[in-house]
Amino acid sequence: MNLTFFDQFSSPSFLGIPLILISMTFPALLLPSLDNRWITNRLSTLQLWFINLVTKQLMMPLDKKGHKWALILTSLMIFLLLINLLGLLPYTFTPTTQLSMNLALAFPLWLATLLTGLRNQPSTSLAHLLPEGTPTPLIPALILIETTSLLIRPLALGVRLTANLTAGHLLIQLISTATTTLFSTMPLVSLLTFVVLFLLTILEVAVAMIQAYVFVLLLSLYLQENI
């Protein structure tokens, strides 16, 4: 039974070819392409409004130097948001439940923010490893602790996103299985579990949106520390 529950997180394949790349590129097909017309339709207007809102929220904690990252962070936010929401549809695969993919997104971007700080202001970046006014006997221990906390940041980003989405998908599958199993024997209990399933689905939609925002927001905060 446990194996069947976790089968939804295995990467699908067709004739031995992994389909995860197709599932990652499919959200881009949902975005309408912009044109040069003066009058746009409602969908394009809504898209531009949402992109402007996301960009404004992500760039708010950054100064002007960090605005160069607006395109990367906004694109990543929309990419994660669409993948998380599409993964809630029945018979779909969610690539962001794979820890390898999340680490592949988190590690290079975290490393880029770190290298940016070391290149532009090396003294300030290294000063984060040792708080001001630290007693001399505690200096080696604090440097080791701060270095460890710095190095586990990309791991925390990937694990947070993976764990939240995986737990939500498992809960939805468990409750939906209970709903269908109890329908023939205990209809009233099945109806109650269906209500719980409906509320949980709404919660998972919110979690999918929040986790995409938190992932990119933490990257922007890491960037702010290094510029």
Lowest-confidence segment of 20-29, 45-54, 98-107 by average pLDDT: 20-29
The residues with which 18 forms a beta bridge, in sequence order, are: 13
pLDDT, one tens digit per residue, over 128-156 is 777 777 777 877 888 888 888 888 999 99
What single-letter amino acid sits at 82? L
Q: Mean of the per-residue pLDDT values for the chain? A: 82
Q: Is 34 inside any structural domain?
A: yes
Please tell me the predicted confidence (pLDDT) of residue 111.
Answer: 92
Give the least confident one: 1-5, 23-27, 55-59, 223-227.
1-5
DSSP letters along 27-82, please?
A: HHHHSPPP-S-SS--HHHHHHHHHHHHHHHHHHTTS-GGGGGGHHHHHHHHHHHHH
Among candidates 20, 30, 46, which has minimal Cα distance to 79? 30
The pLDDT-based confidence of 1 (bands split at 50, 70, 90) is very low
Cα(66)–Cα(83) distance, integer angstroms: 26
In a domain, 3, yes or no: no
Quick check: is 106 in a domain? yes
Give 62's pLDDT tier (boundaries 50, 70, 90): confident
Residue 8 lies in a domain: no
Residue numbers of the domain that contains 35: 17-225
- What is the rounded average pLDDT of the residues 51-61? 85
The mean pLDDT of 37-55, rounded to a whole number, is: 78
In a domain, 12, yes or no: no
How confident is the model at residue 8, as a pLDDT?
63
The verdict on residue 112 lying in a domain is: yes
Amino acid 107: pLDDT: 93
* pTM > 0.85: yes or no: no
Total structural domains in the chain?
A: 1
String of DSSP letters for 97-159: G-HHHHHHHHHHHHHHHHHHHHHH-HHHHHHTTS-TT--GGGHHHHHHHHHHHHHTHHHHHHH
| 23-40 tens-digit pLDDT | 667 666 766 666 666 666
Query: Is residue 68 domain-resident?
Result: yes
Q: Is residue 9 part of a domain?
A: no
> pLDDT tens digit string along 156-188?
999 999 999 988 888 888 888 888 888 888 888
